[in-house]
Amino acid sequence: MKLYDLKVKDNKDNEVSLKDYKGKVLLIVNTATGCGFTPQYEGLQKMYDKYRDQGFEILDFPCNQFANQASGTDAEIHEFCTLKYNTTFKRFKKVLVNGEDADSLWKYIKNEQPYKKVNGLKNRATMKAVEKISHAKDNDIRWNFTKFLIDREGNVVGRFEPIVEPSDIEKEIEKVL
């Protein structure tokens, strides 16, 4: 199976083939509207504005799997993001990212880009606390705002944990643009 073989649902419940994104650089993110990392929406939008004309897309997948931090409906989540953070990138239907019922896209990208421990004492301590709360293991998503970078050929080339700000991955995005 390849990334472009997968289909997902947008926030209006329409089926979307990931083939539609062939040739684009993607940043796939699991998000939440009531999370300490929610302000990252601002950085994501800035990055989207900066690179979208070069074939960059952000695919936003709300997830309520971590402490009920995305408890609204798909419509409420979309309204929150567009009004509070002026987001214009594509938002999809709320998904599960871990467990047996995880969305097939998330199973695929986690397998392609396994979890790696983060560097830095402060970052390690933050991630350890997150892991304890989330009960994450193996390649599980640790928390909201985990980001996966996909190159133009559909290869998963990077995984960035929630503590990594969008601005901190711009150089990685520029390399694949």
Residue 84's SS3 state is: helix
Task: Name the active-site residue from 8, 27, 32, 35.
Answer: 35
Torsion sign, CA atoms 12, 70, 103, 118: positive
**H helical segments located in the chain:** 40-51, 74-85, 104-112, 121-134, 170-176
> Do 79 and 124 form a contact (C-beta atoms < 8 A)?
no
Known catalytic membership, residue 35: yes
Residue 171's SS3 state is: helix
Active-site annotation, residues: 35
